[in-house]
Structure 1
Amino acid sequence: MSQNYVALLGTKGGPAIRPGSSMPTSNLFCLDGQQIVVDCGLGVTRGLVDQGMQLKDLSLIFISHLHSDHYLELGPLLHTAWTAGLSSKVDVWGPAGLDVYWQGFLASMKADIELRIEDEGRPDLRDLLQIHVMDAGIVMERDGLSISAIRTEHPPLVDCFALSFKTSSAHVVFSGDTAPIAALEDFARGADLLIHEAMLENALPALMKRVGNGSDKLMAHWLRSHTFAHDAAKTATQAGVRQLALSHLIPSDDPAYGEQDWKEAVADFWEGPLHVGHDGLKIML
């Protein structure tokens, strides 16, 4: 049987990158031989290749919500996979409106796509992608893999989803971006791994200063739309999951804070195996 694992390709919360920072959100789930890409923030293509994935093998992608740090590189990933030999269908699941992004990307690359079809004999990229609108409930079932979704609390967006991936041998839950919600406890009940977004509470004022061009609205957004690390730990404990991974870290690039700070933030609320996310981290299931 194939190894079951999750690779955290990009673990930074938010779209900005700075010298020394990690990359925005993207993940690779390998479950019972099936490879699933979850979110496509900046850097996803390089991250997949660094994990040894052949981009031409892309077949299934999930986008949790339409914030740029979760889908900015979807188009470039698919185009690059196409130039790397992709010739089979790719199913992409995401919120309503993702098709508008895709059509805009195709329009921006029309000249290149048509040139490569004519000059290099490639199949038409526009025929290879099927976008499906995701909603809460059972999203899809394929080859023993069952994927379901619930809406999270991430205002002002409404179509923002946590995702559950379950096979006969593994169960992984991805929180997406969310404030703490009780529904996630039942949704993740007994999972082998919960990947949960996390903020470090005492680091937020310094982050505001480094951002430089945000108003008090940015702080208000963080507080109403995201989860402190200690609250992520509470959710994991209440859900009875086996492992907890903190990702979409806010902040992830402040040298004044490191792995020990995250461990201390959850210590009073979580006793199980803890993974503090960093780009390229591979978690075995």
Structure 2
Amino acid sequence: MTDFVALLGTKGGPAIRTGSPMPTSSLLSLGGQRIVVDAGLGVTRGLCDQGMALKDIATIFITHLHSDHYLELGPLLHTAWTAGLKTPVRIWGPSGLATYFKGFFLSMQEDIDTRIEDEGRPDLRDLISCHIIRAGQPITEGAITVTAQASIHPPLTESWSLSFKGAGRHVVFSGDTAHNPALVPFAKGADLLIHEVMLAEGLQALQARIGNGDDRLMTHWLRAHTLASDAARIAAEAGVAALALHHLIPSDDPAFGPDDWHRACAPHWQGPLHVGRDGLRIDLPPQG
């Protein structure tokens, strides 16, 4: 059985345009156990495209409450419910998820109530439970152990890097973060580090293309995200086996492509490098 990570949506930021990738979501599979990490717009189709039956969703981690990481969380679970979900789903993330689901269930109350009465389905609201991630408190999900470390993503205070260990594997997601040297010991020796990245030379054009933000948007990028070169340094210092670039900023500018990401990382990282694209499946090599 192959262990893998599938990058379902690889775009940094919530906007989509013609031809652009979708916002952030991933699927982790270790020892046959599958965990969804983040649920940006497009996650439902992305999971289906990986051959996962939505009714089998059991565990979801949300790294932080920016819309490109959880906009489709409620719709994903509602769609899974209409596709046969009848078993509990545990969602781990920031404390604000409880408020999100209160609003989501209220917005869908008529549909949910009608389908329960008219179609005999279990109550979706009874299947979903939200649990708060806390730094340093290990989480056990089946045979997988998850630990969280705070990322640097102001102004948010509940934003997490996540380490998953199971089936003899170690996979780390940086989450959204500024350059964070604390990731080096956190990801030490991991089979795969999945790190968010920016290209400095693409930011001015991206700000102009977005068109409805001011200099505060650029300030946010520079204080809350990581340049590709710094992500490469983290990977090298942590001694990980492979590096995957995720949450790309920019991701839909035709002036920049895979060669630019490789070039940015090359001075600091010479190991296996996966430049994120929607649907990319990264198989972890056989053990031993």
Shorter-chain TM-score category?
over 0.9
Structure 2 counterparts to residues 1-285 of structure 1, below 5 A: 2-285=1-284
Corresponding residue SS for 2:17: coil
C-alpha distance in 1 between matches for 2:139 and 2:200: 36
Structure 1 residues 104-138: Cα deviation after superposition (integer angstroms, max 9, x where no partner):
00000000000000000000000000100111113
Q: Structure 2: state its 5+ residue gaps.
A: none
C-alpha distance in 1 between matches for 2:141 and 2:198: 34
C-alpha distance in 1 between matches for 2:138 and 2:244: 24
Corresponding residue SS for 1:137: coil
C-alpha distance in 2 between matches for 1:20 and 1:275: 21
Report percent identity of matched pairs: 64
C-alpha distance in 1 between matches for 2:119 and 2:261: 50
Would you say the 8 A contact 1:138–1:146 is kept in 2? Answer: no
C-alpha distance in 2 between matches for 1:57 and 1:147: 20
**TM-score, structure 2 length as denominator?**
0.98
C-alpha distance in 2 between matches for 1:263 and 1:190: 22
Question: What's the Cα RMSD here?
Answer: 0.7
C-alpha distance in 1 between matches for 2:138 and 2:16: 32
Corresponding residue SS for 2:34: strand
1:141 offset after TM fit, Å? 1.4
- TM superposition outliers: structure 1 runs of 4+ over 3 Å: none
C-alpha distance in 2 between matches for 1:198 and 1:185: 16
C-alpha distance in 1 between matches for 2:61 and 2:138: 10
Which letter does structure 2 place at the counterpart of 1:144? A
Which letter does structure 2 place at the counterpart of 1:64? T
Would you say the 8 A contact 2:172–2:192 is kept in 1? Answer: yes
Structure 1 residues 179-234: Cα deviation after superposition (integer angstroms, max 9, x where no partner):
01111110000000000000011111111110101100000000000000000000
1:3 offset after TM fit, Å? 1.3
Which letter does structure 2 place at the counterpart of 1:203? G
1:58 offset after TM fit, Å? 0.4
Number of positions where the alignment pairs a residue of Structure 1 with one of Structure 2? 284
C-alpha distance in 2 between matches for 1:281 and 1:163: 20
Would you say the 8 A contact 2:30–2:167 is kept in 1? Answer: no
1:142 offset after TM fit, Å? 3.3
1:266 offset after TM fit, Å? 0.5
